[in-house]
Structure 1
């Protein structure tokens, strides 16, 4: 899956989504992920859902068409462009002022007669409590069957509106048994439906348990890798044989990369290429292609926050997506090894296809600010597959790869070499 995250508060009403679909399809994306579009509680946060069967009126455009008809029409427009639609499934919690709290108090974690707020612990040890949310009790509720049936009906309702996939928010906080039941029941009616688990910030044990619950993919932490420490490859190896993972250069939960890097175009290109080629799946939020700097906000972002583009990465993104689409190595969760190089500013990864004998080398300048000299005595000593290697690099691809191999790697620049024949996009 090559996923374009259409952030609805920035995109605006449903009828305004089609130009974003067209741009995403032209860049080679095949999925659109939309954050929640359901009716919200008083806090106005996209992730504080009050009515799972209602529609957020902020996304309803003018005209006589109902909100559901407008959403269905948007999903149909995406499908006509070859795009599958995915949305959030937020069932770890709901809005504290949702009618569900009064109608089904047995579904919630209660303390002194009041619903408990979910929380998280930040890396610095501080505790963040979301007071606008009520925590569902998926472990000890006296009516787990009723709650499960309710959320199955939510999925089926959203599937009827046109969504083919679901990003399961905070999936690791729910029991694996719950997910197994929900996924199997939903697939009985919709066999091709896709479920993706949001697992960022959880322990390795939680990651593996969630991954084995029937999901199609989980998220990985490649965005935060320093290109050196072993933890990312350890994380990747933990689940790669179970399911695919999704990399991203930034998300709606992070700072904008263009702002984070001080407007470094080379860092943008470096991080996008690495995210695209590291794991089997990829996600990019809208605005990344134009170097937007304003962080996406689940309450305050509005269409007026659309920025005047300062850069245009659409051609580069299209090229990298094309490399990914045409590759059994970069489109699968095959084994990855880090190969040492005398120049510590150069990263060399060898990735193998999950099936078959094809392999690839990703040689990356870790430094997004300066040039690095690359020298390899024998490229073919780095692979254990039959030659030749083909150069699919987006920058200055070579028709012939000499031995020894030398190259001046510009800031953040990569060489992408593969045994998969000449499939250059």
Structure 2
């Protein structure tokens, strides 16, 4: 194991996604903080907790300043009936800070609920259809253009260049200021690519006038590259990548990585609130969950996972239906493993920056090798991946040393162990990769 870094760097974000309605009242969120911190996370991301419109969707915000009724509690067992919504949230962010965690909230400003008060108060802020009605956003299926999904519970805001835009920016600047004052230190910007980069530049700039350490995370999944490119002037700190969907063969993920790594460093995730649970897809295979978490960590600057991933939860999170009664019995427990992986990202600079990265194996080879270089320190990482679910694969230790430009004695493996390895596993001439596994190496010059 190489020695710890002697020069300082900012570790990449390790984000735990706390899905609010799975836990219920805000006071219960606080109960999770010690375990989140123990696993080595430094951020807690909370999906929208605002009062929703009639559909009940967390992402159909009716009032940005009121809590979802399911998150207020009864005032009985919690004994907080006299607390305001802001006091509840402030108590949570204070508790998180005491646990060494920063809190990030979802910022949904590309649309509101169709029954939001803003629709009545400021109809001029919205896109309108030809018949004059407020427009609901939609999406076309990429595989079948005839399939169009319309979100009828949403009203699309209009950020085109026009006089009304300044008032909209003023309104949402105040929303951001309100929540930074309550202790929120970051914002995940939902569908960030749907707003002009210049609008984000103003929103982010104003936020940092009063809270300069505030971080902004752009959600850009599935966006056309040109829509992401126009975010360059915005000043985002991070964006989310699509590593979850990589087949370990196609070029698109590394192409995406190279194209946008100078826009903002990226964050990978093995599953999210928008996807099926990996434990459900794998039939409760804990190795598959370890495999994807370690890959997500090794590939990009930041990593995120949703609540329950560490315990093999199988029920998909739902923006309307999820409630505390959907809490599950654990299929497995990989909390210690996640803690060891998160510690690597906090320790090694090369794992916490979007340095140059390329594949050093051929596409047809059974082992996938990725080489990543730090631009801040003389450090390189190599990850060997066996995506095969059935067969053991091998890679020559001397080959890997050549790729890393080091001697065999410098080849330091930092892969978290499972507890059943022998010394020969890490010193023999061939590096053995079990089915659906990867091994991670770091070189410090």
For normalisation by structure 2, the TM-score amounts to 0.90
Among 388, 404, 409, the alignment partner of 2:433 is: 409
Structure 1 distance, partners of 2:444, 2:425, is 15
Q: What displacement does 1:341 show?
A: 5.8
Residue correspondences, number: 420
Conserved 8 A contact 1:106-1:141 = no
TM-superposition CA deviations, 1:58-105 (whole Å, max 9, x none)? 111222222221111111111100000000110000000011111111
Structure 2 distance, partners of 1:209, 1:391, is 40
Structure 2 distance, partners of 1:46, 1:295, is 15
Instruction: Name 1:389's counterpart in structure 2.
Output: 411
Among 94, 100, 121, the alignment partner of 1:82 is: 100
Among 355, 364, 377, the alignment partner of 2:376 is: 355
Instruction: Name 1:124's counterpart in structure 2.
Output: 143
The structure showing larger relative contact order (alpha-carbon pairs under 8 Å, at least 6 residues apart) is: 2
Structure 1 distance, partners of 2:283, 2:425, is 36
Q: What displacement does 1:195 show?
A: 0.6
Structure 2 distance, partners of 1:261, 1:211, is 38
Q: What displacement does 1:398 show?
A: 5.7
SS in 2 for 1:340: coil
Conserved 8 A contact 1:217-1:244 = yes
Instruction: Name 1:225's counterpart in structure 2.
Output: 246
Conserved 8 A contact 2:425-2:431 = no
User: Does the alignment pair 1:107 with 2:125?
Assistant: yes
User: Does the alignment pair 1:91 with 2:126?
Assistant: no
1:9-408, aligned counterparts within 5 Å? 9-61=21-73, 62=75, 63=80, 64-111=82-129, 112-125=131-144, 126-340=147-361, 344-384=365-405, 388-395=410-417, 396=421, 402=427, 405-408=429-432
Structure 2 distance, partners of 1:194, 1:96, is 29
Conserved 8 A contact 2:198-2:233 = no
Structure 2 runs not aligned, ≥5 long: 1-12
Structure 1 distance, partners of 2:59, 2:424, is 50
TM-superposition CA deviations, 1:302-346 (whole Å, max 9, x none)? 010000001001011111111111010111111111011698221
Instruction: Name 1:418's counterpart in structure 2.
Output: 442
Among 8, 14, 30, the alignment partner of 1:2 is: 14
Structure 2 distance, partners of 1:418, 1:230, is 24
TM-superposition CA deviations, 1:140-175 (whole Å, max 9, x none)? 554111110000000011112221100000110111
Conserved 8 A contact 1:270-1:368 = no
Cα RMSD of the aligned pairs, angstroms, is 1.9
Conserved 8 A contact 1:211-1:217 = no
Q: What displacement does 1:19 show?
A: 2.3
SS in 2 for 1:262: coil
Conserved 8 A contact 1:47-1:298 = yes
Structure 2 distance, partners of 1:221, 1:296, is 19
Segment drifting more, 317-326 vs 133-142: 133-142
Structure 2 distance, partners of 1:208, 1:82, is 34
* CA distance 1:230–1:194, shift in 2 (3 Å): same
Structure 2 distance, partners of 1:288, 1:140, is 42
* CA distance 1:347–1:270, shift in 2 (3 Å): same
Conserved 8 A contact 1:39-1:49 = yes
Conserved 8 A contact 2:284-2:332 = no
